[in-house]
A and B are shown apart, each in its own frame.
Chain A
Amino acid sequence: MAINTTSMLPAALPTSPGPISGDLEVRIRKRFQNPEGSFILNVHFRALPGFTILFGASGAGKTTVLDCIAGLTDPDEGRIAVGGEVLYDSEKKRNLAAWKRRIGYVHQDLALFPHLTAGENVAYGLHALSAAERRQRSREMLHSFAIEHLRDRRPAQISGGERQRVALARALVTEPRALLLDEPLAALDRPTRSSLISDLRQWNQEHRVPILYVTHNGEEVIALGDKVIVMDGGRILAHGQPHEVMRVPRMETVAQLLGFENIFNSTVVALHEDRGTMTCQLGIGKMELETPLVRADVGSRLRVGVRAGDLLLATEHPRGLSARNILPGTIRQLEQRDVIVSATVDCGGTEFEVHLTLAARDTLQLGPGKSVWVVVKTHSCHLMRM
């Protein structure tokens, strides 16, 4: 594989800051199912106290990772440890039951107990304490999450945002050794979400536990601004600060490139990190494209996908255009499909499919054999590993 992901793994495993660390260490291998079929989940990372974001499209295996850490499902092999205590180790045949792990887990559906009031839900995890202590602790927690007024109401009687607060408070009051959040705030509007996040950060100032925060929303990753692990198809693609990982466009998966009319094999010939772009040479010809920068080395082979509808045709060489790729070519054929005209343009041995309107075809008097320029915007180029 030409893409430099494996060599990034050491960066994903920072050395622990001290002997009494609450780090969450995860090494999992597990076959898992998603709607697209069966995958091998194979991840290895260490989460330090504080936020770590698990980012990836749905079906990437994020929830399976959390389920393994919480003990709700078993990996096929691997090792999971938190704060030095081993929760799971396939070699040593150790597998601590979920209810003994002391891992807080807030699921997207929240799973509040419908027959208990908000106060009872929050106090639920404190069953080992005396009744008085339980009341005291849950009252403090309700207070710090500003939901005291909901104490005697059932989940069905409170709003969505309030329910999220109750679910978070319920998990936090037990003082877990690590906290797993599976898109618990996905359904919230932005202000509500950021106020909850700041509550969570404040709580973690005192407790200093690893918080794994799962999301498929790139904006949320930027907004949270913490360390991020990018997952796809059961593997970790990248690991680092959001501005390092998210600034560069993500590699596309096969499924995402389905439906692209133009897919070319290419070779990376130059990286322009200062401009956030790189130059790729298409096929065997001399045709070069400027594409967004992804994590790839010069000489690595990538697949470039461009939608036919994202391409422009010009009958004269365009000037003063922001688009970076202007490729001379010749129309090979025109085909009318309903109200779309599909033009096949040969650019030095590489054929592009370009979609036009009927009016554009008629105004430009396009026809087979006509010389044209194909205009490709840098950010219309989508890149995929080969």
Chain B
Amino acid sequence: MNWEAFWLTVRLATIVSTLLVAIGIPIAYWLTYSRWRWKFLVEATVALPIVLPPTVLGFYVLVALGSRSPLGRWWESLTGHTLAFTFEGLVIGSLLYSLPFAVQPFAASFGAVDPKLLHASASLGHSPAQTFRRIVLPLSKAGLVTGFALSFAHTLGEFGVVLMVGGNIPGVTRTISIDIYDQVQMANYSSANWTALVLLIVSFVLLSVVYGLNRRPWTVGPWR
């Protein structure tokens, strides 16, 4: 069992899913309430990582982060080193990779809030932003937890994007799934087995939480 890779992965997944709550809520808000006619194009873009091979996504992220792209050059001029094959680069790749797993549950739960409640809130003098904070967000707790857990679990198990963007640097970019691959390559089956089992159990527990939460439509959340 490679604990270094395990904790690195947990750290990556925590950072990514936390950032995704911050990034995903405004995107989901826009997707839920916008009446722009081309909105479906944005919806399709957000959903792309679900169907795209991780290597394809990883390839583009690698190109975008490399020193030939404006983003890569800007980062290099700022920090003196390239984003590719770093933990930060890994975070950026994982953010894109797990985006739909946060945004979709968020948007679904925002959209499930009865419009009559939003109307009532407006009639009581609350601006759309105040209404969102005091009505929509509290009533979407289950969706927020689902989005957090799904993007956490999804980041935990990623392989292709990590390999493309991060490479395989112990303590920096070697995540748990890459470690398992390495162990198998070295015919080290017993170690691979333990690591795989830990990943399996953690993922199962997380998904159980998600499905347990959504077992029935909570109006508020189980902790009311």
A residues in contact (CB < 8 Å) with B: 70-72, 97-105, 107, 109, 111-115, 124-125, 127-128, 154, 156, 170-171, 174
Q: A127, B125: Cβ atoms under 8 Å? A: yes
Of B127, B220, B224, which contacts A99 at CB under 8 A?
B127
B130 within 8 A of A: yes
Give B127's nearest chain A residue, CB to CB.
A99
If A114-B220, A115-B139 touch, whether A124 touches B116 (CB-CB below 8 Å) is no
If A99-B127, A125-B124 touch, whether A156 touches B116 (CB-CB below 8 Å) is no
* A65 to B120 alpha-carbon distance, docked (Å): 16
* Chain A min CB distance to B109 (Å): 13
With an 8 Å Cβ cutoff, the count of chain B residues facing the other chain is 22
- Selected A-B contacts with CB under 8 Å, 29 pairs: A70-B119, A70-B123, A71-B122, A72-B119, A98-B123, A100-B125, A103-B123, A104-B123, A105-B119, A107-B116, A107-B120, A109-B116, A111-B114, A111-B116, A111-B117, A111-B120, A112-B120, A113-B117, A113-B135, A114-B219, A114-B220, A115-B138, A115-B219, A115-B224, A124-B134, A125-B125, A127-B125, A127-B130, A171-B124
Residues of chain B lying within 8 A (CB to CB) of residue A111: 114, 116-117, 119-120
Q: A99, B138: Cβ atoms under 8 Å? A: no
Residues of chain B lying within 8 A (CB to CB) of residue A115: 138-139, 219-220, 224
Interface of A, helix, strand, loop or mixed by DSSP: loop
* A70 to B116 alpha-carbon distance, docked (Å): 13
* Chain A min CB distance to B45 (Å): 31
* A9 to B209 alpha-carbon distance, docked (Å): 63
Q: A124, B220: Cβ atoms under 8 Å? A: no
* Chain A min CB distance to B205 (Å): 27
* Chain A min CB distance to B113 (Å): 10
Residues of chain B lying within 8 A (CB to CB) of residue A174: 124-125
B119, B121, B127 — most chain A CB neighbours (10 Å): B119
Residues of chain B lying within 8 A (CB to CB) of residue A112: 120
Residues of chain B lying within 8 A (CB to CB) of residue A99: 121-128, 131
* A107 to B164 alpha-carbon distance, docked (Å): 56
* A173 to B131 alpha-carbon distance, docked (Å): 18
* A282 to B116 alpha-carbon distance, docked (Å): 50
* A101 to B20 alpha-carbon distance, docked (Å): 36
Residues of chain A lying within 8 A (CB to CB) of residue B117: 111, 113
Instruction: Give 15 A-B pairs besides A70-B119, A114-B220 with Cβ atoms closer than 8 angstroms.
Output: A71-B122, A72-B122, A98-B122, A99-B122, A99-B123, A99-B124, A107-B116, A111-B116, A113-B117, A114-B219, A115-B139, A124-B124, A127-B125, A127-B126, A171-B123
Residues of chain B lying within 8 A (CB to CB) of residue A100: 125
* Chain B min CB distance to A80 (Å): 14
Residues of chain A lying within 8 A (CB to CB) of residue B127: 97, 99
Give A101's nearest chain B residue, CB to CB.
B123
* A170 to B123 alpha-carbon distance, docked (Å): 11
* A114 to B112 alpha-carbon distance, docked (Å): 14
Closest 6 CB pairs of A and B: A125-B124, A111-B120, A98-B122, A111-B116, A105-B123, A99-B122
Q: Return the CB mask of B182-224 against A: 1 if under 8 Å, else 0.
A: 0000000000000000000000000000000000000110001
* A154 to B123 alpha-carbon distance, docked (Å): 21
* Chain A min CB distance to B175 (Å): 38
* A170 to B126 alpha-carbon distance, docked (Å): 13
* Chain A min CB distance to B170 (Å): 47
Residues of chain B lying within 8 A (CB to CB) of residue A71: 122
Q: A98, B119: Cβ atoms under 8 Å? A: yes
* Chain B min CB distance to A19 (Å): 27
* Chain B min CB distance to A286 (Å): 58
* Chain B min CB distance to A141 (Å): 13
* A111 to B131 alpha-carbon distance, docked (Å): 14
Residues of chain B lying within 8 A (CB to CB) of residue A70: 119, 123
* A71 to B119 alpha-carbon distance, docked (Å): 9
* A38 to B220 alpha-carbon distance, docked (Å): 38
* A47 to B135 alpha-carbon distance, docked (Å): 32
Q: A156, B219: Cβ atoms under 8 Å? A: yes
Q: B124, A170: Cβ atoms under 8 Å? A: yes
Residues of chain B lying within 8 A (CB to CB) of residue A171: 123-124
If A114-B219, A127-B130 touch, whether A102 touches B120 (CB-CB below 8 Å) is no
Residues of chain A lying within 8 A (CB to CB) of residue B130: 127
Residues of chain A lying within 8 A (CB to CB) of residue B138: 115
